[in-house]
Amino acid sequence: MYAITIDQPGGPEVMKWAQQPDPELPRGHVLVEVAATAVNRADLLQRQGFYPPPPGASDILGLECSGVIVELGEDVTGWSVGDEVCALLAGGGYAEKVAVPATQLLPVPAGVDLRVAASLPEVACTVWSNVVMRGGLRRGQVLLVHGGGGGIGTHAIQVGKALGARVAVTAGSEDKLNRCRELGADILINYRDSDFVASLAEATDNHGADVVLDNMGASYLGRNVDALAMDGHVVIIGMQGGRKGEVDIAKLMGKRGNITSTGLRGRPLTGPGGKADIVADVRAKLWPLIADGSVQPIVSTELPIAEAPLAHQLLDSPETVGKVILTVK
């Protein structure tokens, strides 16, 4: 098969579309002929040498894909050759074929194009597992989403609104904030010229955020606690603002607040906290919201897989809102 290869860590130019061995098909897996994959920030970090795949995972980039099942491994039930699917991956999506644990497959939602479906698994599982399963967001609460214009952010806005929450977002441009408004965001904060803690307090009559979905990490840690409502949850999913921060424990205790941090890629396939449970919950509870149009995939750009270097550059572009897709077939 062909896949994106990387001879040595570096900039986007190190990625090449070249021949690679076909993937093996372990027990409990299916072989998917890839129609499309999507670019995630983790791909950029791996390309630069900062985010190696978990033990046993493919070293090919790509944390999600869509395509057609072409072969079933031993002990796989509930799926058939020819099924159109999308999948959560630990790696391997930037390729013509990928072996996927059957427990990480999702049907393409009704009304969603096969290639566009590649943009869903990573954001859906990340947002649902953190905002709902861990943060416990419910109707009438306030959700604060940092990075509202990104793939995670644009999805989280819609999930929050579909669940009946009031959604606040931060973003760095008025164009991105306007797009967030179109997706349903209620409170729009430009972090370049406003303090999000003060802006959120003013907009919520000092209530704050019941759930904070944070991609920044260290640089926002203390301020997220300042923005937190009583009994609120800060869920950290990224470290764009650094790894080490300080927090006022007395302030956190005074709010009975919770700070958690989670990753998705390194979770076990099954068992407590495993990917299988997340995918099953997403299929049962979030997929109907996508099928009825309450939550829609947001795709900024669609490029051929050979243009992966450009796709990586676009992910950091201020003009990019939502996901960047790479088409394989």
pTM: 0.96
Average pLDDT of the chain to the nearest whole number:
97
For 106-163, how does the pLDDT look when each residue is reduced to its tens digit (9 = 90+)?
A: 999 999 999 999 999 999 999 999 999 999 999 999 999 999 999 999 999 999 999 9
For 159-186, how does the pLDDT look when each residue is reduced to its tens digit (9 = 90+)?
A: 999 999 999 999 999 999 999 999 999 9
Helix spans in the chain (H): 41-47, 121-127, 151-162, 174-182, 196-203, 221-227, 249-254, 275-281, 287-291, 308-315
Lookup: tokens for 63:
């944390």
Reference 243, options 225, 262, 219, 266; nearest CA is 219
pLDDT number for residue 29:
98
| Residue pair 327/115 in contact by the 8 Å Cβ criterion | yes
What single string gives the DSSP state of each residue in 191-219? TTTS-HHHHHHHHTTT--EEEEEES-GGG
**Three-state SS at 118:** helix
DSSP state of 95: B
Residue range 65-88: average pLDDT? 98
Lookup: tokens for 165:
């929450």
For 3-58, how does the pLDDT look when each residue is reduced to its tens digit (9 = 90+)?
A: 999 999 999 999 999 999 999 999 999 999 999 999 999 999 999 999 999 999 99
